[in-house]
Structures are given as C-alpha cells and as structure tokens.
C-alpha cells in the first residue's frame, strides 16, 4: 500500500500499510523471517553505512523484514515519518527518554503513570544525572512552573493508568515548544483509534504494544513513532542495549493490528455500556471513565478523540479496598490479572487503594454486566 496514509481510513491503514504480497512467493501475508543472520553481498560490492556496518538486513538485532512491516504500519497509523519496535513497552520508554535526555537535563513527568515507568524514571534517571519532577499533568500551571532552562522533555500518558486522567496534549505541546523541549506521549490506553498524539503537539508517541496493538494478550512488545531524526537514535539505542523485538512477536503485532479498528469499536462500546451500568449501581462509589459526563476530563477527551473514550475504566467500591479484593475474586468471566487491552476482560484490584482497574474486553456486553452484577452482590 502506498504510504500516503492520510488519504485512507484507519481500518484500511491497519490492514494494508507496510505490506503487500511477499515479493519472492506472492504469499498474501508477511512471512515470519525467523532468522538471526542474512547472507552478506559479495564483499567487494558491500556498501557500508557510516557506522561501518553493511546496508540492508544483516543481523536481526539490527533489523528484520518482519519487524520492518510492523514499524511501517505503526508509522502509518500514527501519521509519523518513522517508527521502531522493541521487546517491550519499557524498551521504547527507556529508549525515548535516554536518547532525548543527557546528563544535566531535567524531565517533567506526569505523577499518574504506569508504576514501572515511574520506577524507571525515579530510579534510573537520577543515577544518570537527569533530574525529575513529577507533577499533576492536568494542572497546567504546575507543569509550567516545573519547567527549568535545562528541561529536555515532558512525559505523560494521554489517558493515565489507572485513574484515566486526560492530558491536554495541545496545551502541553505549547508549553513544551516554548521550553524548546520534547513532548513524549504514552498512547497505550488510547491507541491511534482514539487520537494521534503527533497531530496534537507530541514529538514521540509510544505504546506498550503488549496491549491494544497486539490485542490478544499473546506478545510482549513496544512501538514508538515520530520524526526520523528522533526514531533513528532510538533504533541505535535498542540495538546497542539489546532490546529488539523478535520476528515472531513482530508478526503477532502485524496480525493483531489488522483488527485494531474493529476491536477498539467494540472495546469502546462495551466500556461505555459497563461504565453507565456501574455508575448507577449501589455497590459502586465512583466510576472513572472519560466517556461519563461527570469525569473531569470528559469535555477535553471528547474534543480530542471525536467522542471515543477507549476500553479502560476504574471503579471505587462502597465497601472499600476489602470489597475490591472480594469483588475481583468472585468474577467468573472476567479474569483477575495484570495487563490490559486484551480481547478478554481483565480486572486488577490496585494494591493499597480502593480501586479496581477494568480492561473491558470484546465479549458480549450482557454477559459482562451479569458477571459484574453477581460479583458486586457478593462483595
Ligand atoms: C500505559 C503503559 N505504558 C507502558 C507499559 C509497559 O509496557 P510493557 O509491559 O509492554 O513493557 C505498560 C504496561 O502495563 C502500560 O500500562
């Protein structure tokens, strides 16, 4: 498919971008190039890159044709010049931060992000001489006040994990540009189906592709997209630090991505119906879902995503943390597990809080509501 992806619907891009029939066999689907190495051209003809390495494919840590297809697909879906894949979401988060920031630089980071991202940022960055301020990213004055002359980047999730706070990307983009810094957005919860952060001021967009991009809970992977000048150093970082995606996992992402639009339609529909149902349930104290009009980020989310609110919600129960544990233990269809963005519904009681995070799957909504009702009745 031609890469002028703006001309096409997201579903068309998801299915066709980055691939066509295999040039050697005509196979409709991209083969899994399950190989560590590739035959080098004749030494006398070998064209070298400035790094001294051969051009083209030569070793899968550095590049692989199956991986190249998912990278092209993600670039097209995010409207980016370039994209890179890694062995996990943490692989692209670390690559994005450590290629953007240098010792002496400063990071402004949302204080409501995935706990392991937070752990990486607060444990690893200071060790490398990079200062960090964690702020409430929905408080734009707090963000502006945290900016210093040495601020190199702002990092946020568009929809935060697990509170579903909505980041004002256009406003954060302006603050970042004024500071001559970079805006890095983790778009794992929203996916390009809800919005393309690069169109709203982000410099790099990244995903735990383990989640909605794969969609089936069968691969751990990460992808990032942005301008070539920012993705190229990330690619070198991922090769040097040894965190490339495997060809098989790249292929699983290719297959998963082809139905992203269909799955996201149903995730959004189910989450919206479940959120509305739980909102009026006596056992539920609060529902955090940006699609509900009482959510503080509802209007902002609605304006940025064209009224698509995703498949994630969190709930607080009237019976507190103990009830959350009991509720999660009584569910029969939904599975108590970490991770999210799976076709199956996954619930996670959040340690130390009266909060259950729900990754709403694509099952029949009446079955899900019945399962939640029976579990709440016993909680
Ligand atoms: C929002 C978000 N970002 C990043 C990550 C890390 O991704 P991975 O587990 O693929 O390393 C996660 C994992 O749950 C996540 O939820």
Quick: pLDDT tens for 17-51. 999 999 889 999 999 999 999 999 776 555 566 56
**178 and 219 fall within a common domain:** yes
- Residues 254 and 90: their CA atoms lie apart, in Å, by 20
Beta bridge partners of residue 226, listed in sequence order? 82
The closest residue, in CA terms, to atom 9 on ligand 1 is: 89
Ligand 1 pocket mutation, candidates 112, 117, 340, criterion most atoms within 8 A of CB = 117
List, as one string, the DSSP characters of 49-69. Answer: -TTSPBSS--BTTT--HHHHH
**138 and 183 fall within a common domain:** yes
Q: How far is the CA of 88 from the centre of ligand 1 (A)?
A: 8
Query: How many other CB atoms are found less than 10 A from the CB of residue 301?
Result: 28
* Cβ 137 vs Cβ 112: under 8 Å: yes
Does ligand 1 lie within 6 Å of residue 157's CB atom?
Answer: yes
Q: What is the DSSP letter of 48?
A: B
Strand, coil or helix: 165 = coil
What pLDDT, in 10s, does the model give residues 161-180? 999 999 999 999 999 999 99
User: For position 6, what pLDDT does the model report?
Assistant: 62
**201 and 284 fall within a common domain:** no
**234 and 272 fall within a common domain:** no
**142 and 39 fall within a common domain:** yes
Number of domains in the chain: 2
The closest residue, in CA terms, to atom 6 on ligand 1 is: 89
What pLDDT, in 10s, does the model give residues 292-305? 999 999 999 999 99
- Residues 8 and 216: their CA atoms lie apart, in Å, by 25
For the record, the structure tokens of 304 come out as 């940025």
Phi-psi region of 129 (alpha: psi -120 to 50; beta: other; left: phi over 0): left
Domain final position from 219, 242, 257 = 257
The closest residue, in CA terms, to atom 16 on ligand 1 is: 114
**300 and 247 fall within a common domain:** no
For the record, the structure tokens of 301 come out as 């989310």
**247 and 314 fall within a common domain:** no
List, as one string, the DSSP characters of 143-183. Answer: HHHH--TTEEEEEEESB-TTT--B--HHHHHHHHHHTT-EE
Domain final position from 206, 224, 257 = 257
Supply the CATH number for residue 275's domain.
3.90.1150.10
User: For position 48, what pLDDT does the model report?
Assistant: 65
User: For position 46, what pLDDT does the model report?
Assistant: 58
The closest residue, in CA terms, to atom 12 on ligand 1 is: 208
Q: How far is the CA of 212 from the centre of ligand 1 (A)?
A: 11
Does ligand 1 lie within 6 Å of residue 208's CB atom?
Answer: yes
**249 and 340 fall within a common domain:** no
For the record, the structure tokens of 262 come out as 């269909």
Sign of CA dihedral 321, 216, 223, 103: positive
**211 and 349 fall within a common domain:** no
Which stretches of the chain score pLDDT less than 50? 2
pTM of the model: 0.96
For the record, the structure tokens of 65 come out as 């044709």
The closest residue, in CA terms, to atom 2 on ligand 1 is: 114
Q: How far is the CA of 158 from the centre of ligand 1 (A)?
A: 13
Domain final position from 217, 232, 257 = 257
- What's the domain range around 322? 260-378
Does ligand 1 lie within 6 Å of residue 341's CB atom?
Answer: no
User: For position 43, what pLDDT does the model report?
Assistant: 66
For the record, the structure tokens of 124 come out as 């690893």
Does ligand 1 lie within 6 Å of residue 89's CB atom?
Answer: yes
**324 and 281 fall within a common domain:** yes
Supply the CATH number for residue 105's domain.
3.40.640.10
Beta strands in the chain (DSSP E): 82-86, 106-110, 131-135, 151-157, 182-186, 204-208, 222-226, 284-288, 312-317, 335-336, 346-349, 356-359
User: For position 289, what pLDDT does the model report?
Assistant: 98
Ligand 1 pocket mutation, candidates 90, 158, 244, 346, criterion most atoms within 8 A of CB = 90
Q: How far is the CA of 94 from the centre of ligand 1 (A)?
A: 12
CB-facing half-sphere around the CA of 43: CA atoms within 13 A? 0
β-bridge pairing 82-86 and 222-226: antiparallel
Q: How far is the CA of 185 from the centre of ligand 1 (A)?
A: 13
Beta bridge partners of residue 206, listed in sequence order? 186, 224
User: For position 366, what pLDDT does the model report?
Assistant: 98
Taking every pair of Cα atoms in the chain, the longest distance, rounded to a whole number of angstroms, is: 76
User: For position 45, what pLDDT does the model report?
Assistant: 55
**271 and 234 fall within a common domain:** no
**252 and 279 fall within a common domain:** no
């Amino acid at each position: 498919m031609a890469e002028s992806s703006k001309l096409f619907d997201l579903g068309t891009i998801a299915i066709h971008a980055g691939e066509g029939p295999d040039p050697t066999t005509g196979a409709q689907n991209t083969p899994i190039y399950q190989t560590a190495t590739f035959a080098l051209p004749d030494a006398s003809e070998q064209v070298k890159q400035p790094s001294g390495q051969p051009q083209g494919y030569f070793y899968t840590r550095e590049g692989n044709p199956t991986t190249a297809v998912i990278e092209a697909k993600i670039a097209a879906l995010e409207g980016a010049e370039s994209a890179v894949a890694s062995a996990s979401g943490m692989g692209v988060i670390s690559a994005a931060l450590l290629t953007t920031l240098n010792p002496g630089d400063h990071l402004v980071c949302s204080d409501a992000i995935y706990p392991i991202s937070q752990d990486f940022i607060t444990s690893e960055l200071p060790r490398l001489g990079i200062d960090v301020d964690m702020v409430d990213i929905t408080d734009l004055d707090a963000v502006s006040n945290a900016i210093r002359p040495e601020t190199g980047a702002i990092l946020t999730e568009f929809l935060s994990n697990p509170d579903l706070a909505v980041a004002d990307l256009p406003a954060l983009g302006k603050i970042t540009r004024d500071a001559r810094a970079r805006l890095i957005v983790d778009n794992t919860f929203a996916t390009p189906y809800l919005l393309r952060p690069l169109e709203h001021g982000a410099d790099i967009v990244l995903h735990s592709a383990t989640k909605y991009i794969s969609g089936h809970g069968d691969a751990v992977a990460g992808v990032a997209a942005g301008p070539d000048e920012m993705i190229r150093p990330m690619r070198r970082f991922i090769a040097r630090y040894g965190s490339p995606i495997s060809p098989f996992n790249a292929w699983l992402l290719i297959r998963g991505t082809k139905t992203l639009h269909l799955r996201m339609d149903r995730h959004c529909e189910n989450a919206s119906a479940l959120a509305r149902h739980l909102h009026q349930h006596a056992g539920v104290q609060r529902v955090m879902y940006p699609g509900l009009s009482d959510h503080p980020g509802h209007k902002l989310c609605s304006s940025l995503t064209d009224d698509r609110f995703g498949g994630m919600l969190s709930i607080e129960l009237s019976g507190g943390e103990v009830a959350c544990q009991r509720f999660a233990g009584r569910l029969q269809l939904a599975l108590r597990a970490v991770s999210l963005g799976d076709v199956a519904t996954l619930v996670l009681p959040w340690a130390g809080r009266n909060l259950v995070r729900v990754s709403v799957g694509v099952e029949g909504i009446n079955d899900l509501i019945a399962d939640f009702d029976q579990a709440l009745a016993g909680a």
